[in-house]
Amino acid sequence: MGLKNEGRTWTIKEQVIEDLSTGLTLEFEVVADDCEAPFRLRISGDLPFGQREILFGRDGKEASAGMVLAGLSSPPWLTSFDEYPATD
């Protein structure tokens, strides 16, 4: 894979997305502010080679990738959508 020519930068909030149609769970998280690859994407579900983790540098480029050995846990900051008050 490569970078898109003249690719623009965008922002993703820390969150967990459960894609019901594929059974995959995507977890976006900032792991540390003081490292070279502070942004993590974890992918879990019924994957042939196990759960995946991809780390990204501050420049948005992939820094490393590999298998997740510990499994996907619920982050302490995770809040159900149902817990937010309704707005009119």
Any domain includes 87: no
Phi, psi of 2, deg, nearest 5 = -135, 175
Summary mean pLDDT of the chain:
82
Q: What is the pLDDT of residues 5-18, one digit of tens each?
A: 888 888 999 999 99
pLDDT recorded at residue 9: 85
Any domain includes 34: yes
Any domain includes 80: no
Q: What is the pLDDT of residues 15-54, one digit of tens each?
A: 999 999 999 999 999 998 788 999 999 999 988 888 999 9
Q: Which stretches of the chain are assigned E, i.e. beta strand?
A: 15-19, 24-30, 39-44, 52-56, 62-67
The number of folded domains in the chain is 1
CB 20 within 8 A of CB 13: no
pLDDT recorded at residue 82: 57
Q: Which residue has the higher pLDDT, 60 or 74?
A: 60
Rounded to 5°, angle at Cα 18 from 7 and 39? 40
